[in-house]
Structure 1
Amino acid sequence: MLIGKTNYQLSKSAIMDEELRQLQLDKRIKGKSEQLLRQHSSISSDLAPVERACQLLNKGDEIQRINVLNSLPELAMTEKQAVYNKLLPKVISLLPQSSAEFQIVAAKMFRMFAERNLSVSTLLPVALTGLQHVDATVLQAWSDALMDVIPRLSGKVIQSQVLSFIMKDLQKQSSKQKKMSYARLLGVISEQPAVEVAVVKSFLNTVIDLSRDPIPEVRGTMCLQYPAIVEKIGLEKSILEYIAFFGKDENPIVRGSLLSVIGLMCKDFSQDSWKIHSLIDVCSNADDDTKIILAKEIGILSLCLSNCASAKELSFIINVYQKLSMAGLSVTEMKKGSDPSRSVATRQQCAMSLPQMTNFIMSKPNIPEDVIYAIIKTLTSDPCYAVRRQAANNFQDIVKFMGNKINILIDIFLRLLRDSSDDVLVCLIPNLSGTLNQYAKQGVLQTKKIDTNINEFGRSLLKCQANVFKLNHWRIQAIYLRQIEFLPAVFPSDYINTQFLPVIFNIITKGGPKPVRKQAIRTVLKFLRYNIKQEQRNNMRIRLVSEIARSQLFYTRILFISMCNDCLDIFSTEYFKTHFCEVFLSLADDEVPNIRLLVLTFLPRIKRFFFKPNDNNLIAMLDKLILKRNEIERDIDCRKILNSVIVQVRSINIITQKTIKCPTPLDQRLYQEEIRFDVFV
């Protein structure tokens, strides 16, 4: 028993010693060593920037050298010649024995020089040498730098230096990262206008060698460069063979790469559309991630093949799309135990490509509209919110392509408006006005009468508003209110006045985030401007004054001042002077200094809109207000602003104008529109 206890104490002591050692490791480390102090003390701080940078490169440590590298592009803007003659040669001489971090920063710095067309000829050999580095990250950095340098080189230099270097280096044993970098570089070279067709054809054998490399990542990277090569030399027989070979590749990386770029080459497949048909068939039946890529690209592929593929092939594409849009939902796939995350990603990509597929199907008169309706309904009622969210995000584009068949999607749109998912509403609401406009263009919504469509759309919009205002998300609430500013263009004034206006006034008066309340007031002003009934306009103005300007709450009254600012943007100055100016000036006597301060700040702007003799009453009211505040104002901030305002107001000369004068052409246009509405009655 004693021995066991002793062993326990020893093990406990060992644990404590280990913990103590770890605590000692956490202690603050000592300062610079004597050697570093001597090294750094020899660097003078009084030198010119270029000379000091040279000393830091010679005597500084790694961090200091990297800082010098980062400052080179900025130094080159002021002391270009000194940087080229002194610093660049020194940096180049340090590269062979430098660390990976130094190499990466040097590559980044050289890219900056290349973007500014500075010393490209000097940078090219350095970037080519960097491609020999064994570190994959460094190799990638120099490869990216070279891609920025190549477009600034002549065709002769590209052929004699860059291309010859790549061809020679590929004859040696190369790593995977190097082969992938060279494949990308061959694609960039093919894109350059300065490179002739014969030059691209000269390295076609190298392209084919990389296309059949045993490493799938290399084959996939080379596949991604085929559009640039085909664009330059056309669809050569050997290229066509390897595109077909890629389509049957057993590795999903290669097939996915081909799917990503095949749409860019569709115009070259007018006589060989069956090859794309075969690729789609293989990928749609594959149990890997190529199914996700196919769902993403199938919309572009269908549009590209629309004019060259046979009716049978087009029908096959639609069937594949329907199958992908149901991925993971069928009983058969559920029994197989397919990957749920992959199925959701596939359906999500289908929802993303839904506008292109809608355009494709609606452009074919022989395809019944029930086909696209079934697909859209499937994706917008998907059990996963992420799929519905993507479909909602694209719904405005979908209805544009539906044309006069848009009425078949009414129930789908209304169901999206009533969706219980916050994420779906967040994506649907920003495009709400555009979607409603499409329905109005096709006659589904009309402003002349309240029919069944108006009632259904109105109820769904109000349900959407109720769901949105349950969220703790003031931005989407403000966006919703901004979108329904458009309602007077698609809904009758009577319906807006009875159904939407009470709800919006409730938002204004019951409190909430200030941006939401301000947007609600702006929405009411929009309703007021485009309301065609005089009685309803009068009631709205009375409520704006009584419930906002005359409110018992300071936070509500202060909103009236921001409302007047919006009013001058939405209405003409004459409208503001007729209906709101007197109420606004009366707030200068408010008991709360913050409100008086804002009113006083606004006075010089208002006076510029006054003209004699039409505005004599308002001019007299303004002068009386300023005199009164000058006598009784006691608040320090208000007094300070008032003194400045008095000087500004006195400097403004009021013009005598017999007829109503509008200060700007926009104001004149707004005034003429208001005259047509007879809003000054």
Structure 2
Amino acid sequence: IVPLVVSQAEPTKRVQRRVIATRLLEKLCSIVPVECVKKDLAPCAQMLCQDPSAAVRTSVAQRLSMIADSLKNSTDCVSLLLPCLIELCKDDDPGVREAILNTIAVCLPYFTKESRKSVVIPLIRKCTEQALFLKDTSLTVVAKQIGPWLDSVKEILSQQELKWFLDTYCRLVDISMGDSDKISALLCTACRRMCAYNFPCFAMVYGKESFNEKLMPILDRFCTDGDDEVRSTISSGFHEIIQMRPDEPALVGPFIELIRGGAPEVVQQMTGNLHKTLPPLYECIKKYTGTVNVKISRIQLDRILIGCNRLLRGTGSWRSHESYLNNIACIRHLIPFHDLYVSFLPMLKQEVLTVRALPCRIAASQTLLLMMREFPMEKNRNTVIEFFTTTIGSHESCNRRRLLLDVVPIVLQHFSREFFKQHFLESVLKLAHDKISNIR
């Protein structure tokens, strides 16, 4: 089949056949021996990179990474594929250039350190400067790939090259937020979304000085951006940013802005990693309350979190609501037990009784039980126990009574058998005589 594929790639064949040949190349690379890839398939790919049809060149540009992976040798990748990358980056067709810019990030790990340093980095810089000058659709590809490029070469970059990456990222953000007639609003929005996606990567690579001076103003702009998707993208990666800068009080403001925007999509992106975001956030507020960067108190943050619950339960996205209810359990170690009892206990009880989705009711029950463990006073603990054994166990709704059975594995997991037998067993066994057969 290899000679057949190579024959279909010849310039005399129809364009459609040559495009199919590029797809077959990708499939064959993963199943034929490495020697066959080096001898037949890689030269065939080189020939297709010089094809007169832009559609063929675009198709092969999208598949060079699979060939690089199948060669399993960085020296072979440099000799066989690096010339293809260089040639396609100079292509006159914007579609081909976009395809190869996307491929570079995937191919980078397969090249030798020397080739990355001496050839690929200058190539990336040249392509990026061209995109910044032309301000065409390749600009969005550069905005998307600048993070993966940086991540792949950060160990071999000089200080001057590191500075170029940061300055270029800042230029991309400035261009995407500008009102220039040379670039469409749609392109600007797409660039901002890509830049927001890459923000955690830049926060990871650059130190505190660069973060505070150049990246922090960008984060503030992203968190107040008019596009919901930009804010959602930042929201989904906010836990990464705050874990890299756990002692940075300036991050409190952007977090509050993301939630205060009131967009459910933005808050939903944050719920899955709320347990990673809240501990450093509460620590910053505790340490820096009253300073220029921290203008809210811990009690205000408590109220904002409770407001998130109201926002999420009205969206219909029960998975996000479930994540929120599970992950706010971490605050039991962050705020005084009295505030847990006064502020969060009523909210969680209400969710157990009224929220529609069963996973959300179970999540609220689990968090309620975990918070109960932090109450030093027995009467406060008994309030929660009686809520489950009496209010839930004797509820007129069979769905609520059934919830007591769903809580049993949680109690057994987080508490001792003696605790379960003393406080829950009797109420659970009463359900053996329930009038509803499903509960029995």
* TM score, norm. by length of structure 2: 0.82
- Given the alignment, which residue of 379, 385, 392 partners 1:548? 392
Partner residue of 1:347 out of 192, 204, 207: 192
How far apart are the structure 2 equivalents of 1:557 and 1:264? 54
Give the structure 2 partner of residue 580 of structure 1. Answer: 424
Other structure's SS at 1:330 match: coil
- 1:487 matched to 2:317: no
Contact 2:49 2:57 in 1 (8 A): yes
For residues 305 and 581 of structure 1, the distance between their equivalents in structure 2, rounded to whole angstroms, comes to: 60
Is 1:260 matched up with 2:99?
A: no
- 1:386 aligned residue: 229
Q: State how far apart, in whole Å, the 1-side matches of 2:312 and 2:272 are.
A: 12
Distance in 2 between residues matched to 1:250 and 1:597, nearest whole Å:
69
Describe the shift of the 1:270–1:593 C-alpha distance in structure 2 as closer, same or farther (beyond 3 A). same
Amino acid at match of 1:388: R
| Change in 2 beyond 3 A, CA 1:511/1:282 | closer
- CA change 1:531–1:235 in 2 (3 A) is same
In the TM superposition, residue 211 of structure 1 has moved relative to its aligned partner by 1.9
Which of 315, 331, 342 does residue 498 from structure 1 map onto?
Answer: 342
Q: Per-residue deviation at 1:207?
A: 4.0
> Does structure 2 retain, via aligned residues, the 8 Å contact 1:248–1:282?
no
Given residue 213 of structure 1, which amino acid in structure 2 is its aligned partner?
D
Sort the Cα spacing of 1:546 and 1:278 in 2 relative to 1 into closer, same or farther, 3 A. Answer: same
User: Would the aligned equivalents of 1:189 and 1:195 in 2 still touch at CA under 8 Å?
Assistant: no
CA contact (8 A) 2:246 2:281 kept: no
Q: Distance in 2 between matches of 1:560 and 1:265?
A: 54
User: What is the aligned counterpart of 2:284 among 444, 448, 461?
Assistant: 444
Q: Is 1:194 aligned to 2:33, yes or no?
A: yes
Residue 526 of structure 1 corresponds to 370
- The change in CA–CA distance for 1:553 and 1:184 in structure 2 (over 3 A counts) is closer
- Amino acid across the alignment from 1:287: K
How far did 1:463 drift? Answer: 1.7
Distance 1:173 1:553, change over 3 A: closer
User: 1:90-169 to 2 correspondence within 5 Å?
Assistant: 128=1, 162=2, 164-169=3-8
What count of residue pairs does the alignment treat as equivalent? 423
What is the aligned counterpart of 2:16 among 168, 177, 186? 177
- Structure 1 match to 2:146: 298
The correspondence of residues 405-444 of structure 1 with structure 2, limited to 5 A, is 405-437=247-279, 439=281, 443-444=283-284
> Are the counterparts in 2 of residues 298 and 353 from structure 1 also a CA contact under 8 Å?
yes
Question: Which of 194, 211, 214 is matched with 2:49 structurally?
Answer: 211
Instruction: Give the Cα–Cα distance (whole angstroms) in 1 for the partners of residues 13 and 267 of structure 2.
Output: 52
Structure 1 runs not aligned, ≥5 long: 1-127, 129-161, 602-681
> For residues 382 and 533 of structure 1, do their structure 2 counterparts lie closer, same or farther at Cα, with a shift above 3 Å needed?
same
Cα RMSD of the aligned pairs, angstroms, is 3.4
Q: Give the aligned partner of residue 470 of structure 1.
A: 314
Q: Deviations over 1:194-215 (max 9, x none)?
A: 3338x72677665443222221
Aligned partner of 1:466: which letter?
Answer: R
**For each residue in 1:281-321, what CA deviation from the matched residue of structure 2 results, as whole angstroms up to 9, or x when unmatched?**
11233333222222221101112232333333322322322
Distance 1:260 1:545 in 2: 58
Task: Give me the identity figure in percent.
Answer: 22
Describe the superposition over 1:129-185 as per-residue Cα deviations: whole angstroms up to 9, x where unpaired.
xxxxxxxxxxxxxxxxxxxxxxxxxxxxxxxxx1x4444454561122222333344
Partner SS state of residue 593, structure 1:
coil
Question: Residue type matched to 2:147 in 1?
Answer: G
Which residue pairs with 1:661 in the alignment? none
CA deviation digits over 1:507-565, x for unaligned, max 9? 33456455433432232112113434434223332444453345566654453343345
Relative to structure 1, is the Cα distance of residues 224 and 545 closer, same or farther in structure 2, using a 3 angstrom cutoff? closer
Aligned-partner Cα distance in 1 for 2:168–2:394: 64
Q: What is the alpha-carbon distance in structure 2 between the residues aligned to residue 551 and residue 202 of structure 1? A: 73
* Equivalent residue, structure 1, for 2:126: 278
> Which among 367, 370, 376 is matched to residue 210 of structure 2?
367
For residue 252 of structure 1, report the CA deviation from its aligned partner.
Answer: 1.7
Structure number, greater radius of gyration: 1
CA distance in 2: counterparts of 1:329 and 1:189, whole angstroms:
44
Query: In the alignment, is the contact (CA less than 8 A) between 1:509 and 1:547 conserved in 2?
Result: no
CA distance 1:536–1:218, shift in 2 (3 Å): same
Match of 2:239 in 1: 396
Indicate how the Cα distance of structure 1 residues 218 and 170 shifts in structure 2: closer, same or farther if over 3 A, else same.
closer
Return the alpha-carbon distance in structure 2 between the equivalents of residues 305 and 430 of structure 1.
30
3-state SS in 2 of match to 1:465: helix
8 A Cα contact 1:219 1:254, kept in partner? yes
In structure 2, relative to structure 1, the CA distance for the partners of 1:298 and 1:586 (3 Å cut) is same
CA–CA separation in structure 2 for the residues paired with 1:192 and 1:553: 59
Structure 1 pair 310/551, CA: closer, same or farther in 2 (3 Å)? Answer: same
Q: CA separation in 2, counterparts of 1:563 and 1:169? A: 64
Deviation by residue 1:96-129 (Cα, 9 ceiling, x = unmatched): xxxxxxxxxxxxxxxxxxxxxxxxxxxxxxxx4x
Aligned to 2:291: none
- 8 A contact 2:8–2:21 mirrored in 1: no
Label 1:546 to 1:187 Cα distance change in 2 as closer, same or farther (>3 A). closer
Q: Which amino acid in structure 2 is aligned with residue 426 of structure 1?
A: Q
Deviations 1:452-483 (A, max 9, x none): 65324312211211212333444433332122
- Against the structure 1 CA distance between its residues 195 and 189, is the aligned structure 2 distance closer, same or farther, given a 3 Å change threshold? farther
Q: Which moved more, 1:342-351 or 1:530-539?
A: 530-539
> Please, which of 158, 164, 174 is the counterpart of residue 316 of structure 1?
164
Work out whether 1:517 is the aligned partner of 2:356.
no
Q: Deviations over 1:251-297 (max 9, x none)?
A: 12111122112123434321232221111111233333222222221
Secondary structure of 1:285's counterpart equals helix
> Is residue 62–residue 99 contact of structure 2 (8 Å, CA) maintained in 1?
yes
Q: Deviations over 1:65-121 (max 9, x none)?
A: xxxxxxxxxxxxxxxxxxxxxxxxxxxxxxxxxxxxxxxxxxxxxxxxxxxxxxxxx
Asked whether the 8 Å contact 1:418–1:464 carries over to 2, the reply is: no
Cα displacement (A) at 1:436: 2.3
C-alpha change, 1:193 and 1:501, in structure 2 (3 Å) is same
CA change 1:297–1:405 in 2 (3 A) is farther
The Cα shift of 1:350 comes to 2.1
2:289 alignment partner in structure 1: none
Instruction: Provide closer, same or farther for how the CA distance between residues 330 and 578 of structure 1 changes in structure 2, counting only shifts above 3 A.
Output: same
Deviations 1:21-74 (A, max 9, x none): xxxxxxxxxxxxxxxxxxxxxxxxxxxxxxxxxxxxxxxxxxxxxxxxxxxxxx
> Relative to structure 2, which stretch is displaced further, 546-555 or 272-281?
546-555
For the pair 1:377 / 2:220, whether they are aligned, the reply is yes
Note the C-alpha offset of 1:242. Answer: 4.6
Structure 2 Cα separation of the partners of residues 477 and 304 of structure 1: 36
Listed one character per residue, the Cα deviations across residues 378-412 of structure 1 (whole Å, up to 9, x for unaligned) are 22322111121122122223333x24444331221
